[in-house]
Amino acid sequence: MLFRKLAPPVKPTYVCPATNHMAEEVFISYGSADRERIQDLVTRLRQAGVTVWIDEAGIEGAAMWSQEIVSAINNCNILILAISTNSAQSKNVVRELALASEDDKTILPVFIEPTEIPESMKYQLAGIQRVEYFKGNEDESIGGVLRALKRLGISTDGDTPAQALGQAPTSKPQTKAKLPALALAAIAIVALLALIFILKPGDGQPTAKPSAPTEEPTTSTQPETKPLDKNRIVILPFKNIGTPGENDHIVEGIVDDLNTMLTNVDGLRVIGSASAKTYRDSNKTPAEIGHELNAGTLLQGSIQKTGTDLKINVRLIDTTTSENIWANSFSGNETDRSKFQQEIIQSIVNKTKGTLLNQSELGSLTQDDTKNVEAYSLVKRGLELIDVHSRETNQEATTLFLKAIDLDPNYVDAYAGLAASYIRSSSVSLDSPLKSFPLAKKYIDEALRINPN
């Protein structure tokens, strides 16, 4: 009890069962070219008492974006996103940001150099306060980083103001500190001697002979691989079989529809499309992708559209065993698209949850859809254009959404896309917010009138 009372208080720790490692409070996502800068930041944070997890090998230099990284993100409290030109070009940094966002992790953007936020990160970082940690100004900037972490619930335990700011403690005369230290050491020695005396066998008592060392069976230190959650699903980008660039918006649209439909099925969790799209044309196996995204089920496929003919090939894979769970091919007219999508969703639900959706449930998943082939194509092309984020493409997208509404006045996605284009129009200097935002609200209200859900 004596030593327990004298020991300084420590922060509670959590051990991740998947990796058997202590879970750190802060995960830092960075590009490998910024490793030296990040190591300086990590050192200062740790000096201030903040527990930090980083990929010591550098994200881009790692042989595999491993399950350990996914577990570290899942178990951290805050993800620090080190923003630079290098990290903006890293697919793995985008992937980590998407995973943190999907798990509702608090994200703290830290700019380590002046740069623009890339399009792939703007959605997750919208409205989030950022901090600067520029080169040559680290001593002052670390204070801002620590204050931001403190506001987000991360405490520091520096003994002096300098330590609280992440700076190395300055040496001080330790004459007075030696006496308590010596006294504690003396008390410890006395306690140890007393313990030895009490436990020492008395005269006449037989002394226990040392027993021969018993051979314990060797056990593997490798943690047993647990099956991944089959109800956690990733839909990879489908391949477009045909002329490159032709019908890309249709292929993307069908996959986005499947993502949205599955997300609305109770009991299933779908990996965000931003994470899934980083695996476009990847050479990684389904097992590797599944472990990296902590997803037990993977859907991949291809789409071929020739004139009005439509063919969709799909394959559902168990990422734990790499076995095919289900595969099918759907061929018909482009007007059969919605029916094909419902059949795909029904099969996925059956193979993962072991249940079937009734017709009412299936119908609710496609309530925002249209049977008008041209209107569908116009909306998917419009959604593709507003992501370019320019004045010209935003104007073109607005025109396409209006045409789709003319073709099908009850097409909910057309109204939603039109509202999005008006919201974006102020950011590309087409209209002022005073003009564009009321128009956006008008079309959102119309979409909700058609489908209150």
Which CATH number goes with the domain that contains 407? 1.25.40
Domain shared by 32 and 150, yes or no: yes
Q: Which residue has the tokens 């008390």?
A: 187
Which pLDDT score is estimated for 202? Answer: 44
Domain shared by 361 and 387, yes or no: no
CATH of the domain at 64: 3.40.50.10140
Q: Per the domain annotation, does 222 fall within a domain?
A: no
Q: Per the domain annotation, does 15 fall within a domain?
A: yes
How many angstroms separate the Cα of 226 from the Cα of each of 174, 219, 222, 353? 52, 17, 12, 19
CATH of the domain at 259: 3.40.50.10070
Domain shared by 151 and 68, yes or no: yes
Domain shared by 312 and 332, yes or no: yes
User: Number of structural domains, the chain?
Assistant: 3
Domain shared by 306 and 382, yes or no: no
Q: How far, in whole angstroms, is CA 325 from its chain's centroid?
A: 26
Question: How far is the C-alpha of 331 from the C-alpha of 269, rounded, in Å?
Answer: 28
Q: Per the domain annotation, does 59 fall within a domain?
A: yes
Q: What is the dihedral of CA 124, 129, 135, 141, to 10 degrees?
A: -150
In this prediction the pTM is 0.56
Could you report how far apart the first and last alpha carbons of the chain are, in Å?
61
How many angstroms separate the Cα of 296 from the Cα of each of 21, 292, 317? 23, 10, 8
Which pair of structure tokens corresponds to residue 445?
């209200």
Domain shared by 247 and 131, yes or no: no
Domain shared by 77 and 50, yes or no: yes
Q: Per the domain annotation, does 284 fall within a domain?
A: yes
Domain shared by 441 and 395, yes or no: yes
Which pLDDT score is estimated for 158? Answer: 52
Q: How far, in whole angstroms, is CA 66 from its chain's centroid?
A: 13
Which pLDDT score is estimated for 40? Answer: 92
Q: What is the DSSP letter of 33?
A: G
Residues β-bridged to residue 301: 314
Q: Per the domain annotation, does 403 fall within a domain?
A: yes
Q: Which of 342, 365, 388 is the last residue of a domain?
A: 365
Question: How far is the C-alpha of 289 from the C-alpha of 152, rounded, in Å?
Answer: 32
3-class SS at 229? coil
Domain shared by 60 and 103, yes or no: yes
Instruction: Give the structural domain span for 320.
Output: 232-365
The stretches in the chain having pLDDT less than 50 are: 1-21, 58-65, 159-187, 189-190, 192-214, 218-222
Decide: 264 and 326 in contact? Cβ < 8 Å.
no
Alpha-helix runs per DSSP H in 152-222: 161-164, 175-199
pLDDT digits (tens, 9 = 90+) for 45-72: 999 999 999 886 544 444 444 677 888 8
